[in-house]
Chains A and B, each alone.
Chain A
Amino acid sequence: MLLREVEYVRPSSVDEAVRLLGANDGARALAGGQTIVNVMKARAAAPDVLVDLNRLDDLKRIVVTGDTLELGAMTTYTQLMASSEVEVARPVLAEVCATIADVQVRNRGTLGGNLCSNDPTNHLPPLMVALGAEMVILGADGERTVPASEFFLGVYMTAAGPGELLTTILVPAGRRAAFDAITLGADGTCIVSAAAALDGEVRIALGCVDAVPVLVTPASADEAAVREAVQGAGLDPPSDVHASGDYRRHLAEVVAVRAVRKASERS
């Protein structure tokens, strides 16, 4: 398909990328392109300038510092799946990435792209909220760090505003976490999803039930406590061709219980 005319630039540093994003209101970061290129084909968005981040190796680092896994925003799903650091510090991340779409998408799609596009059906926003990750955002005025629970603001909207760039995701290390979802076919789009982390307090983040992930913190990992917490969350999920709101509310409880059960079996 012929895209609308768009300017393109390949910055050679992260600072240059931020400068370019700030220099034009119509500039957008081009990460893996597995969402934005389609969106541009459909003319659902028409950026004036694409700032291609794909050659910025500084954004592809995977480092463990103490109890924190530092992930560059441009790490691909394939890279996360193959990373020994991820396998040791936060194996759930590799496990979830292996269920996103297909080989081709996993080879190009990135952690930062998945988080910043913030489609409510995306896998990684609820996972990051459950894990208590932090997002490092760089702008013209410097760097700030935002907890995942405050990063997702609305459908396709995050705390990384115009002229800003998500550069690094800080994930606390731990092994007792899991993800469960009802999907459209194997490894397809999520209809409802839940991520659970049991390393400290019990944290469950539900996906596809609201514009942003919904965090629930049951008193314990007991099934009854989990069900009660999800029921008490006042969910009012949207209805669509795949599931009614009522059915999604029911499924949210089911996937939350499954995710917690899987997480509690890990050590």
Chain B
Amino acid sequence: MEPVTSQTITVDVNGTSYEREVETRRLLIHFLRDDLDLTGSHVGCDTGNCGACSVILDGALVKSCMLLAVQADGSRIETVEGLASEGELTALQQAFSDHHALQCGYCTPGMLMSATALLRQTPQPSADEIKKGLQGNICRCTGYWNIVDAVTAASGQEVASHEA
């Protein structure tokens, strides 16, 4: 194999197979958003800090602005578009709605993917485990309490009262 500047890749995104030629310099987030028109994953900081671009790649949570699209060749990718099935929200998405776990909503796709990955690994996380699981995701509205509550509720656990 010799170095190339573009390559044809095949990826499975939310159960649909796509074959596309991509420039090797293309980041995975731009491939998803601009080539596949899956604009649910957001570009927040573009420096790997905010987590708004988080997707699940072959079962592992990753920031899609921190890898090249060619690196995903042959992989299975899950994005926020793949969560709800036929208009039916997942328990986590419903909990985000019920607990008002979003304000401007920009960080929400990344939060949902991180929380989805967390709940697969730790079905009943403690508040500290939720915070650690969402550490790579920044909410600039700073609405963290409600996000932790939503993840707690989605795991079937009782949500603590925040009354003073």
**Interface residue ranges, A against B (CB under 8 Å):** 1-12, 16, 20, 24, 30, 33-34, 37-38, 41, 49-50, 52, 54, 78, 101-105, 107-108, 186-187
Asked if residues B136 and A105 are in contact (CB atoms below 8 Å), the reply is yes
In chain B between 87 and 133, which residues have their CB closer than 8 angstroms to a CB of chain A? 114, 117-118, 132-133
Cα–Cα, bound, A81→B114 (Å): 18
In chain B between 1 and 36, which residues have their CB closer than 8 angstroms to a CB of chain A? 1-5, 7, 23-27, 30
Cα–Cα, bound, A227→B150 (Å): 47
Which residue of chain A has the shortest Cβ distance to B24 in the bound complex? A8
- The residues of B that contact A11 with a CB separation of less than 8 Å are 1
Asked if residues B5 and A7 are in contact (CB atoms below 8 Å), the reply is yes
A105 and B48 in contact (CB under 8 A), knowing A4-B25, A8-B68? yes
Output the least CB separation between A1 and chain B (Å). Answer: 5
Asked if residues B136 and A38 are in contact (CB atoms below 8 Å), the reply is no
- The residues of A that contact B114 with a CB separation of less than 8 Å are 103-104
Cα–Cα, bound, A187→B25 (Å): 30
CB<8 Å pairs between A and B, sample of 11: A1-B46, A3-B27, A6-B25, A9-B2, A12-B1, A20-B3, A30-B71, A49-B3, A103-B114, A104-B62, A105-B66
Which residue of chain A has the shortest Cβ distance to B133 in the bound complex? A103
In chain B between 61 and 75, which residues have their CB closer than 8 angstroms to a CB of chain A? 61-63, 65-68, 70-71
Asked if residues A6 and B5 are in contact (CB atoms below 8 Å), the reply is yes
Cα–Cα, bound, A50→B65 (Å): 17
- How many interface residues does chain B have, given as a range? 35 or more
Cα–Cα, bound, A38→B66 (Å): 7
Contact of A5 among B25, B30, B46 (CB under 8 A): B25
Q: Is B54 an interface residue (CB 8 A)?
A: yes
Asked if residues B67 and A108 are in contact (CB atoms below 8 Å), the reply is yes
**Interface residue ranges, B against A (CB under 8 Å):** 1-5, 7, 23-27, 30, 46-48, 51, 54, 60-63, 65-68, 70-71, 114, 117-118, 132-133, 135-137
Cα–Cα, bound, A52→B73 (Å): 12
Query: Which 5 residue pairs of A and B lie closest in terms of their CB atoms, listed nearest first?
Result: A102-B136, A8-B24, A7-B3, A3-B25, A102-B135
Output the least CB separation between A141 and chain B (Å). Answer: 23
Which residue of chain B has the shortest Cβ distance to A2 in the bound complex? B25
Asked if residues B70 and A8 are in contact (CB atoms below 8 Å), the reply is yes
Asked if residues A9 and B51 are in contact (CB atoms below 8 Å), the reply is no
Asked if residues B1 and A9 are in contact (CB atoms below 8 Å), the reply is yes
A7 and B4 in contact (CB under 8 A), knowing A103-B136, A104-B62, A108-B66? yes
Known interface pairs A8-B5, A10-B70; 6 further A-B residue pairs with C-beta atoms within 8 A, sorted by A's residue number: A5-B25, A52-B71, A54-B71, A102-B51, A103-B114, A104-B63
- The residues of B that contact A2 with a CB separation of less than 8 Å are 25, 30
Asked if residues A10 and B1 are in contact (CB atoms below 8 Å), the reply is yes
A5 and B54 in contact (CB under 8 A), knowing A33-B66, A38-B66, A103-B133? no
Which residue of chain B has the shortest Cβ distance to A42 in the bound complex? B47
- The residues of A that contact B51 with a CB separation of less than 8 Å are 102, 104
- The residues of A that contact B62 with a CB separation of less than 8 Å are 104, 107-108
- The residues of A that contact B47 with a CB separation of less than 8 Å are 38, 41
Cα–Cα, bound, A108→B137 (Å): 16
Cα–Cα, bound, A197→B18 (Å): 50
Contact of A107 among B1, B46, B61, B135 (CB under 8 A): B61
Asked if residues B61 and A104 are in contact (CB atoms below 8 Å), the reply is yes
